[in-house]
Amino acid sequence: MVKSRIPNPRRPLLLGAAALLGTSALLVACGAPGSPTAAGDAAHRSASPSASGGTTGASGGSTTGAARPTPGADESSAAATATPTATSTPTSTRTPSASPAGTPTGAPASPFASATTSPTAPSAPAASAPAASPSTHAPATGVLRHTASGGRTVALTFDDGPGPATGQVLDLLAQYGAKATFCEIGTNAQARPAAVQRILAEGHRLCDHTVDHPQPMHAQTHEQQVAEIGDAKAMIEKAAGGDPAVTWWRAPGGDFTAENERIGADLGMKSLGWTVDPRDWARPGVQAIVSNVQQNLRPGGVVLMHDGGGDRTQTVAALKQLLPWLVAQGYTFDFPQS
């Protein structure tokens, strides 16, 4: 039996039909470009840009340029680069407010966009920074360094008390009819209320010298400086009893700034400095203390000495020489400007 043969001209047509049927089956399996199941470059081209500069694919996953393999890179490099996207936090755990602009509420958000578009992330540190950071060190402009009356007057001031030497200082001042200002540590005033009351009873005046003498003062936060100055004033007033006037405050080490000057002013006190510092706190010797005052004092000056904060034997001995010398030089005793 002779089989019929298809003429050669019809064979190309049958082959072409078979090829067309194979292409259609392939498109059904893979999906047409732009359809929900499309993949590869067609999906990246149809995706909308995310807030981080990456793209959000049609399936909702986030991709960025960094997650794509570099042309020419081997497969292991490509897999390592793509890992962050594949293991990103599931979008179901993100809050809708963290979604980038243009992403529907509840839709998957780019993990990179949430770090840069969340409105609360950058604002939180800024709100807490002023309280945590150290205070500024702008210089004070209203520190007082002169007597109230001027002329040939002197203002004697004593810091860091009351202490064991305060009574001896008061005895010497009484002998010469001298008045002085006592800049007191809050905790010392609290521990020696009788000394504070004697200071006032004998006509002297009080000054706030902070709770516990922090140095440097300007390195304290604003809240700490408010507490140091304000609490000391309250402690001194309580130790004194009644309604004593605490007219001035003095920064430890003279570390006045515009900030703590304002704190003192808000509490009703002026900032009190000095013009003569014989460094008696360092115990340089009685004659060194005496010579320093005699050489540097000018009419209307404010002398800084100490009745507390340590051994003040040298200060008391120097005061025994300075008081008669001041009287002999024609000085009268005054309080600082207020």
Nearest to 319 by CA among 184, 180, 221: 180
Does 169 reside within a domain? yes
**What is the distance between the terminal CA atoms of the chain, rounded to a whole angstrom?**
136
Residue numbers of the domain that contains 242: 153-333
List pLDDT tens digits, range 68-123.
333 333 333 333 333 333 333 333 333 333 333 333 333 333 333 333 333 344 44
The total number of structural domains that make up the chain: 1
Name the DSSP class of 308: S
Does 238 reside within a domain? yes
Does 83 reside within a domain? no
CB neighbour list of residue 12: distance below 8 Å, 6 or more residues apart:
none
Q: Where are the alpha helices (DSSP H) in 176-284?
A: 186-191, 193-201, 222-240, 258-266
Nearest to 250 by CA among 32, 56, 236: 236
> Residue 155: beta bridge partners?
302
Name the DSSP class of 180: E
Does 55 reside within a domain? no
**Positions marked catalytic:** 159, 306
Residue 115, token pair as written in the block: 């770090």
Does 102 reside within a domain? no
List pLDDT tens digits, range 174-204.
999 999 999 999 999 999 999 999 999 999 9
List pLDDT tens digits, range 240-275.
998 899 999 999 999 999 999 999 999 999 999 999
Residue 256's CATH number: 3.20.20.370
Nearest to 208 by CA among 168, 235, 243, 180: 235
Please calculate the CA angle 122-125-130 and round it to the nearest 5 degrees. Answer: 135
Does 79 reside within a domain? no
Does 200 reside within a domain? yes
Report how far apart, in Å, the C-alpha atoms of 327 and of each of 94, 178, 316, 324 are.
Answer: 81, 10, 17, 5
Rounded Cα gap, residues 75 and 69, in angstroms? 8
CB 145 within 8 A of CB 248: no
Does 193 reside within a domain? yes
Q: Phi/psi at 141 (nearest 5 deg)?
A: -120, -10
Answer yes or no: pTM beyond 0.85: no
With cut-offs at 50, 70 and 90, classify the pLDDT of residue 5: very low
